[in-house]
Amino acid sequence: STTRLILNEAELVMALAQELQMRVVTVSLEDQSFSSIIQVISGASMLVSMHGAQLITSLFLPRGAVVMELFPFAVNPEQYTPYKTLATLPGMDLHYISWRNTKEENTITHPDRPWEQGGIAHLEKEEQERILASKDVPRHLCCRNPEWLFRIYQDTLVDISSFLEVLKDSMKTKPSVKKSKPASTVHPGRVREAQCQTSVQTTIE
């Protein structure tokens, strides 16, 4: 990926390998086919990723695996929970962990990028300054909020010590997966009278 980078990825991979005494591999949609990535994930015991759509691949993790979602500076994990929700659905049996960068000095922002990649140069100067000074993205509607985009497209230098601390603390409470058959299959209800409602916005927020 060219956005939402983990700036010290190699160091993080090494720390994970040493802590867990496991082989750690990196995957990338830019370099690998989706099917080959799914093949890797379906045999993994842990998936670590920055918050983003690629975490939908946690669907293919085996039961009992760990999902560790990383959040950039000023982004509160409690407000963005689709993958936490996915991990805790009946029958998934995944152990979800979140880590948040709390150190502003460990983030690199990109204010001059296009707005859809988190750029804020198109905004009024006062609004730019407010966003730059903010330490926590307020609640908002998805998904064109400029402050949210600015923060979610940051690159992050992961603090290894706090990352490992969160990981170790959470692993202490990791439930064991029962050997019995998985929870009964959950089927969604039949869709009735479906309607599509859209709101058209004529200006960039």
**How many CB atoms neighbour CB 149 within 10 A?**
21
**pLDDT at residue 201 in the model:** 52
pTM listed for this prediction: 0.85
Domain boundaries, the chain: 1-103+157-176, 110-153
- Report the pLDDT value the prediction gives residue 180, as an integer from 0 to 100: 46
The closest alpha carbon to 204, from 151, 163, 149, belongs to 149
* Residue whose entry in the numeric block shows the structure tokens 């045999």: 43
CA nearest 161: which of 105, 110, 117, 99? 99
Q: What is the pLDDT of residue 145?
A: 96
The token pair at 127 is: 């609004």
- Alpha carbon distance 142, 104 (integer Å): 24
Q: Which of 171, 29, 87 is nearest to 40 (CA)?
A: 29
Question: In this predicted model, what pLDDT tens digit does every residue of 132-177 receive, in sequence order?
Answer: 999 999 999 888 999 999 999 999 999 999 999 999 999 988 887 7
CA angle 13, 89, 75 (to 5 degrees): 50
155-156 vs 107-108, strand pairing mode: antiparallel
The pLDDT, as a whole number, for residue 204 is 52
Segments of the chain scoring below 70 in pLDDT: 1, 178-186, 198-205
Q: Which residues pair with 50 in a beta bridge?
A: 70
pLDDT tens-digit series, residues 47-58: 999 999 999 999
Three-class SS of 140-194: CCCCCCHHHHHHHCCEECCCHHHHHHHHHHHHCCCCCCCCCCCCCCCCCCCCCCC
Domain 1-103+157-176 bears CATH identifier 1.10.10: no
Q: Give the H or E element holding residue 84.
A: helix 82-87
